[in-house]
Amino acid sequence: MSQHYLVAMTTLRSLLDQRASVKEHIITARPAAPWYSDNIKQEKAETRKLERLWRSTKLMIDRELYTEQCRLVNQLIYESKIKFYTNVIEENTNDQRVLFSCFGKMLNTSAAKKLRTHDCPRDLANKFAAYFKSKVHCIRASFSTTTADPIYAEQLYHEPEFHEFSPTTPTELCSLVKSMVKKSCSLDPIPGSLLKDCFSVLLPVIVNMINLSFRDGLVPVLFKDTVIDPVIKKDSLDHEIYQNFRPISNLRFICVKSN
């Protein structure tokens, strides 16, 4: 099954290299603002146009037009933010979690990501991996393999067994994928958003991969790899202590959809 996956991804990547060769560009990554509208986008484009004109001509009239357009854009952004957050507050009056999240974004109270003090990122990653691995082993070791309760043992003995999975269908898998967010993992050969857009082409291969996994009763080792991101449990905790971090896993796109 993992071989089918690698062949499909290799074929897709080769097609992309032929039709759209890789080019490097420096971009500024900005999170999508929920209040950002098409009208603001158009007015900002007009602002850039007027700015280029003013820098080209150096005329005072062009500078005044550019300045007035900047005021217009700022006013549109202000009004759009007010309208958006007002609607969020009114619609979630009884939902404290949404309200706290909303006010946190408005006041920009989210703390920067904290990690332990380190000189080498690779060494820090290995230390986190060793800590999380030992934590899992300790949790497993704390479970008792036997029980002295005869009633529990009898219930466990007569528990019905699950012998097989029902094979998935293209319709079922398409419905599942459409409801999922476009997330990616650094282990993916191509971004999850692009793979989702091309999902109809790869659908037969992916359906076959999943059904082979169901038939053989195993998950390929390739799908068991994940990227672990250590996140501090509370901002007030000491970020120099490993115990104050929890592991957040980011699976491959195909692995998430397969599960």
Q: Give the Cα separation of 196 and 183 in Å (integer).
A: 10
Among 107, 128, 154, residue at a domain's last position? 107
* 88 in the same domain as 71: yes
Please check whether residues 101 and 120 belong to one and the same domain.
no
Look at residues 56, 38, 37, 78 and name the one whose alpha carbon lies nearest to residue 65.
56
Domain limit, last residue, from 65, 85, 107: 107
Give domain status of residue 151, yes or no: no
Residue 201 covered by a domain? yes
pLDDT given for residue 61 in this prediction:
93
pLDDT of 4 reads: 64
Q: Does residue 100 sit in the same domain as residue 120? A: no
With 60 as the cut, is the pLDDT of residue 83 above it? yes
Does the structure show a pLDDT above 60 at 258?
no
Tell me the average pLDDT of the chain: 80
- Which comes out higher in pLDDT, residue 65 or 173? 65
Query: Any idea of the CA torsion for 74, 80, 86, 90, to the nearest 10 degrees?
Result: -170
Residues whose CB falls within 8 Å of the CB of residue 206, separated by 6 or more in sequence, listed in order: 8, 173, 199, 254, 257, 258
- Token pair 């857009």 in the structure block, residue: 197
Q: Are residues 88 and 130 in the same domain?
A: no
Count how many domains the chain has: 2
pLDDT at residue 159 tops 60? no
- Domain hosting 130: range is 113-141+163-258
Nearest partner of 13 among 190, 257, 259, judged by Cα: 190
Within a domain: 155: no
Whether 214 is in a domain gets the answer yes
Q: Tens digit of pLDDT for each residue in 23-52?
A: 777 777 666 788 888 899 999 999 999 999
How many Cβ atoms are within 10 Å of 45's Cβ, its own excluded? Answer: 11
Q: Does pLDDT of 111 surpass 70? A: no
pLDDT of residue 140: 82
- 249 and 227 within one domain: yes
pLDDT value of residue 42: 93
In a domain, 238, yes or no: yes
Whether pLDDT at 166 is above 90? no
> Do 82 and 99 have their domain in common?
yes
* Whether residue 127 is found in the same domain as residue 186: yes
Domain-located, residue 188: yes
CA 69 to chain CA centroid, nearest Å: 36
**Do 124 and 250 belong to one domain?**
yes
Residue 60 pLDDT greater than 90, yes or no: yes
Rounded CA-CA distance 127/134 in Å is: 11
132 and 221 in one domain?
yes
Q: Which residue has the tokens 């990653």?
A: 125
77 and 119 in a single domain? The answer is: no
Domain annotation covers residue 207: yes
Same domain, 250 and 199: yes
Within a domain: 213: yes
Same domain, 77 and 126: no
